[in-house]
Amino acid sequence: MENTHYISSALLSLDTLQEIISEHKSIALSDEARINIQKCREYLDKKMATNDDPIYGINTGFGSLCNVKISNENLSQLQENLVKSHACGTGEEVPQEIVKIMLLLKIQSLSYGHSGVQLVTVQRLVDFYNNDILPVIYNQGSLGASGDLAPLAHLSLPLLGEGEVNYEGFRQPARKVLDKMGWEPIVMQSKEGLALLNGTQFMSAYGSYILLKAMKYSYLADVIAAISLEGFDGRIEPFDELIHFVRPHKGQIVTAQHMKELLEDSQIIAQPKQHVQDPYSFRCIPQVHGASKDTIEYVKKVFKTEINSVTDNPNIFIESDVIISGGNFHGQPLALALDFLGIALAELGSISERRTYQLISGLRGLPAFLVDNPGLNSGFMIPQYTAASIASQNKQLATPASVDSIVSSNGQEDHVSMGANAATKCLRIMDNVERILAIELMNASQAIEYRRPLQSSEFIEMFLKSYREEVPLVKEDRILHYDIEKSVVFLNSFLIDLED
């Protein structure tokens, strides 16, 4: 089927993930995935029938209860109890877009045939995804080690007919939706609950979602900065490739090249300048935006590896005839990457707010606060306050979560990543940057009007024309909250090609 993505061993890239999401593709298990899942389950069933030795999480308790042996007749109840007891999430609901990515990534991880789940279990997750039956999950409760236990327990509850789901626009009991679809609850077999709950899909889904936005807003940060530079009557020399080739960080070179392309054939940038230098927030755009681009590239590599990995425990290796208990659920790689990404995004917001401040300061022939009759009109005075407040909050949110650890499970789980906290606050930073850039766009688009009749580049003029259809020029004071919100919507609607 043309609009179906088949889950297989082929690498899942962020570009493919974006395509699946944006094109609303359904998913299906490939023949390869189905065989892998079935072979692993058959191997585990045979192993359990012929082996009385304790195997962690399969016929033992969990965490610090790992030495408690469970009888064979209670193995199904053991897994069901695990899912129910671990559903201890609290806080805000995870956005449904991220829940859907969690489902996809959990299916991908289980499809490799190292987890021991039933085919019917994975197929039910596929059915949830394709029918937009999205489990209600909460954003607090995971330590980011032993996997995202609490969030993944809430993801798994509807398999048992427990918990709640969002379906057809309503939050409702999962059992009610299963009845409507004519589905019986899954009867869990040995290890299945642990396979579902161990894993990094909460952190991975958040990170993937943020990265897709970060790549877009890294591009838009350049576009908006170019408009600000034009409004501030800035100089083109800081973007000359000669400067950047003698300090050849990739992101710096790419940003400088992008800025020159954005400003190509601009009458404003070409006019003679009375000032010798621009402030750092303009002159150092390649260095600051570029460093954030390089960070995004690093984080993309980490997450590309993670979303193509097996992250539950224990892992089953049929060819080697072993079941190994290890620590692939530990979120340390993601925690560090998410903290790094949060810092890089916060810096995009920080330098953006500084450009906004320069634009309203009455410099270079611009009126104070970018409005006629300043005094009678406050103009763009207060949006800068808002941007400054948000930028300051981002500095607080950018404090790393990964440097913390709290002992859990009676000392058995004595070092945890806190990657889930890194993930949720990184999303908050990303949303904040979106608003800071929206405010800069409001100011930059206003400032550039004071350079008329000179024209900017063809691209920038087209961009501004589209923006002005949503947010008119400010001629006298009005409620600017609505302009900020419309600017956010405008930026969200802007489509760019993402290269993975």
Tell me which residues are annotated as active site.
56
**Strand ordering across the sheet containing 164-167:** 134-135, 164-167, 170-173
- Residue 434 tokens read as 């979106």
Evaluate the CA torsion angle 57, 135, 488, 394 in order and state its sign.
Answer: negative
Q: Which two tokens stand for residue 154?
A: 């809430």
Of 331, 305, 315, which Cα lies nearest the Cα of 117? Answer: 315
Q: Which two tokens stand for residue 80?
A: 């069901």
Query: What is the chain's alpha carbon radius of gyration, rounded to the nearest angstrom?
Result: 26
Return d(Cα 356, Cα 373) in angstroms, integer: 20
Cα angle 147, 149, 154; round to 5: 135
226: phi then psi, degrees, rounded to nearest 5: -65, -40
- Asked if 255 contacts 222 with a C-beta cutoff of 8 angstroms, the reply is yes
Question: Which residue is listed with tokens 């392309």?
Answer: 261
Per-residue CA distances from 389 to 10, 19, 394, 499 (Å): 44, 35, 9, 33
Residue 331 exposed, middle or buried by CB count within 10 Å (0-12, 13-18, 19+): buried
- State the Cα–Cα distance between residues 362 and 37, nearest whole angstrom: 66
Length in residues, the chain:
500
Is there a contact between 413 and 461 (Cβ–Cβ < 8 Å)? no
Amino acid at 277: Q
Query: How many other C-beta atoms can be found within 10 angstroms of the C-beta atom of residue 396?
Result: 10
Environment class of 49 (CB within 10 Å of its CB; exposed 0-12, middle 13-18, buried 19+): exposed
Report angle CA 479, 481, 486 to the nearest 5 degrees.
Answer: 110
Cβ–Cβ under 8 Å, residues 196 and 117: yes
Alpha-carbon gap, residue 436 to 301, rounded angstroms: 27
**E strand intervals along 271-418:** 315-317, 322-324
Q: Of 422, 287, 281, nearest to 342 (Cα)?
A: 422
CB neighbour class for 15 (10 Å; exposed up to 12, middle 13-18, buried from 19): middle
Pairing of strands 90-93, 138-140: antiparallel
Phi/psi region, residue 140 (left: phi>0; alpha: psi -120 to 50; beta: rest), is beta
